[in-house]
A and B are shown apart, each in its own frame.
Chain A
C-alpha cells in the first residue's frame, strides 16, 4: 500500500535504528538522530520498535494516506495536524483513507520522528532502511523524500488494527508517553558529557572553557554534526592526529578551536582531538539543536552515563508493558 507526500518538507528522510557491524568498512551508523523518539513513536502505533519512520527536519510536510493508519510523532515543538485537528506529540491517532497529516515549522527544536502503523516499507540496504544521504543509499533511493512522491507502507500489524477500531470515534488517543520522551526540545539545553579520549592533549584551558561557557549552534550543522560557535578553545598543538574511531556524541576540537559535536551520519574515523563525548541519553536533546540555539555542556562520570541509560531503558520497558492493554 502506498501513501503520498504532497509536500516533502524542508528535509525529510526515511530512518530506522541505523546500521551496525559496518564501521570497519567506513559505513556510518546513521539512523534516527533520536532513536529513542522513533522507538517510542513506533510503540505508540503498534509497530516493532525498529520499524522505519520519517525524520522530519523543520516541518513543511503534508502526507495523504490511501488507507486507515495509526500515526504518532515525537520530537521538537511542532504544530502537527490531521486535517484541521491538532495532533499533539506522543498521542497515537487514526488517519482515515484520503485524510492528510501535516506538520509545520517548530517553535523550539528542529526535528520530529513520525511513525506510521506498518512502517515505511522501502528496501533494506546493508541491514537498514535508513537513508544515508551522504553516500546516497537506503531510504528513498538514497535521497530525501520529494514533493509529490509516493512511498510504500507495509500492512497494518494486528496491534494497529485493534487500535484503529478503538480510535474510530475519538480519533486521537488520550494517553501518551512521559512528556520528556515525546517532546524533546529544550530551551538553552545543557548536555552532559564524559571526558574525551584526548581531553588531556587538548589542555586544561580548552576543557575548562568547554565545561563552563555557552556556545551557539552554527548554521552549517547537519546530520553529520553540530558545529559550535562562541568562545574559541585553545587548540592542541598537534591537532592532526592519526585517524581513529569516532562515534555519534564525540566532540572534536579542530585547529579552528570551534568544537564539533558529531551526530549519526558522521564519518567512522576522525583525526581531530576528541575533547568530550556527549552521553547517549542526551543525544536526543542534541538532535534538536538548530542555528543560533545556545547550549552548554557539563561533565558527568561514566557511571552516571550508564546509570541514566539503564534508568531510561527500565522506564521504556515499563512503558512497553503499560501500553499493552491498549492493543488488546
Chain B
C-alpha cells in the first residue's frame, strides 16, 4: 500500500496494486479501506474520495497540527494513522460487500444511439446484439467524476469494448449512455465527451437539489433495461 502526499492538504492511498486483472477485488479493497478510514475519525480529515485502486483523503493541516501533528512532519503523522486504520481491516480480512443493484432504463433508439453502428461494426456483431450484450451484463461503479454523478462502470462485455472517439463531441445530451474503452457510463448533464453513445436514459443521475446529489455511489451495482421509444417518451413527460 502506497501512501503519498497529494499536495499539502490531501493524501493519495493506493490500496490495490492492480485494476485490469481483478477489478472486483480492487473495488472491494477500496471500499473496505474507505470504511476503515471513515471509522477511524482521524483528526483533520475532511473527506474521502475513492476511485478504482485509490482512496484520496483530504485534510485540514491546521486541524491536524492542533490535534498534535508535528509541524515539521504532518504527513508522517497522518500516514501513521492511515496505515493503522487500514491495517485493522487487513487483520480481520474482508467481508464481502453487499450493495444494491440499480436499474437504469435505456432507450437504444437510433435517434439517441449516435455510435451504435460503429460499436457493432468494431465488435463484429449486429446493433441488436450490442443492445443485448450491454443490457445483459451487471456492472459495478468504480469511480464517480468527470462531471457530478458521472459513473464509470466496469463489467462491460469485451466484445463491445470500443476506444473513445478520436475527436470528442462538443456536446453530448444529458442522459446519454456511452462506451469508453472497457467501461460504460451515463452523462448526467449536457457536456462535451468522447465516449461512443449507444442510447439514452430519462433517469436523473445528478440533481444538485438533492443530497446526496448523485443517484449512484462507488460500489453500487448497475443494470441497464432496454425500453421502447414510447416508454422513454412517457417517462420524460
Binding site for B on A (CB under 8 A): 20-28, 125-127, 132, 134-138, 194-195, 197, 242-247, 249-250, 267-269, 274, 277-280, 302-303, 305-307, 309-310, 313
A310 to B214, CA, bound (A): 35
The answer to whether residues A277 and B214 also contact, given A243-B143, A245-B49 and a CB cut-off of 8 A, is no
Query: Cβ of B74 and Cβ of A197 under 8 Å apart?
Result: no
User: How far does the Cβ of B150 sit from chain A's closest Cβ, in whole Å?
Assistant: 6
Partner of B213, one of A126, A246, A303: A126
A35 to B208, CA, bound (A): 23
Query: Cβ of B56 and Cβ of A310 under 8 Å apart?
Result: no
B125 at the interface (CB under 8 A from A): no
A278 to B8, CA, bound (A): 9
Partner of A21, one of B10, B47, B147: B47
A136 to B54, CA, bound (A): 29
Using an 8 Å CB-CB cutoff, how does the interface string of B46-58 with A read, 1 for contact, 0 for none? 1111111110101
Query: Cβ of A277 and Cβ of B6 under 8 Å apart?
Result: yes
For A24, the chain B residues whose CB sits under 8 A away are 47-50, 144, 217-218
Say which size band chain B's interface belongs to: 35 or more
A132 to B214, CA, bound (A): 16
User: How far does the Cβ of A249 sit from chain B's closest Cβ, in whole Å?
Assistant: 5
Query: Cβ of A247 and Cβ of B7 under 8 Å apart?
Result: yes
Task: List B residues 187-211 near A (Cβ within 8 Å).
Answer: 189, 206, 208-209, 211
Query: Cβ of B213 and Cβ of A22 under 8 Å apart?
Result: yes
For B5, the chain A residues whose CB sits under 8 A away are 194-195, 197, 277, 302
User: How far does the Cβ of B204 sit from chain A's closest Cβ, in whole Å?
Assistant: 13
Closest 8 CB pairs of A and B: A245-B56, A277-B7, A269-B145, A305-B8, A25-B214, A137-B208, A23-B49, A26-B145
Query: Cβ of B8 and Cβ of A302 under 8 Å apart?
Result: yes
A sample of 26 cross-chain residue pairs with beta-carbon separation below 8 angstroms, ordered by A number, consists of A20-B58, A22-B148, A24-B49, A24-B50, A25-B149, A25-B214, A26-B150, A27-B208, A125-B208, A137-B208, A194-B8, A243-B51, A244-B12, A244-B53, A244-B56, A245-B12, A246-B6, A250-B7, A277-B5, A277-B6, A279-B8, A280-B8, A302-B75, A305-B7, A305-B8, A306-B8
Closest to A250 in B: B7
Query: Cβ of A135 and Cβ of B6 under 8 Å apart?
Result: no
Query: Cβ of B47 and Cβ of A25 under 8 Å apart?
Result: no
Query: Cβ of A25 and Cβ of B7 under 8 Å apart?
Result: no
Task: List B residues 1-48 near A (Cβ within 8 Å).
Answer: 4-10, 12, 19, 46-48
A306 to B206, CA, bound (A): 36
For B54, the chain A residues whose CB sits under 8 A away are 244-245
For B46, the chain A residues whose CB sits under 8 A away are 20-21
B212 at the interface (CB under 8 A from A): yes
Closest to A134 in B: B147
Using an 8 Å CB-CB cutoff, how does the interface string of B79-93 with A read, 1 for contact, 0 for none? 000000000000000
For A246, the chain B residues whose CB sits under 8 A away are 6
Query: Cβ of A313 and Cβ of B62 under 8 Å apart?
Result: yes
Query: Cβ of B71 and Cβ of A303 under 8 Å apart?
Result: yes
Partner of A274, one of B6, B72, B212, B213: B6
A170 to B146, CA, bound (A): 51
A309 to B12, CA, bound (A): 20
Query: Cβ of A197 and Cβ of B4 under 8 Å apart?
Result: yes
Partner of A26, one of B4, B52, B75, B146: B146
A297 to B58, CA, bound (A): 24
Closest to A246 in B: B6
Partner of A197, one of B6, B143, B146, B218: B6
Query: Cβ of B145 and Cβ of A267 under 8 Å apart?
Result: yes
Query: Cβ of B10 and Cβ of A310 under 8 Å apart?
Result: no
Partner of B72, one of A20, A21, A303: A303
For B10, the chain A residues whose CB sits under 8 A away are 245, 247
For B65, the chain A residues whose CB sits under 8 A away are 306, 310
Closest to B61 in A: A306
Query: Cβ of A25 and Cβ of B6 under 8 Å apart?
Result: no
Closest to B46 in A: A20
Closest to B56 in A: A245
A85 to B148, CA, bound (A): 44
For A306, the chain B residues whose CB sits under 8 A away are 8, 61, 65, 71, 74
B73 at the interface (CB under 8 A from A): yes
Partner of B73, one of A22, A27, A303: A303
Query: Cβ of A302 and Cβ of B74 under 8 Å apart?
Result: yes
B112 at the interface (CB under 8 A from A): no
The answer to whether residues A25 and B52 also contact, given A138-B208, A194-B8 and a CB cut-off of 8 A, is no
The answer to whether residues A26 and B51 also contact, given A125-B208, A244-B12, A305-B8 and a CB cut-off of 8 A, is no
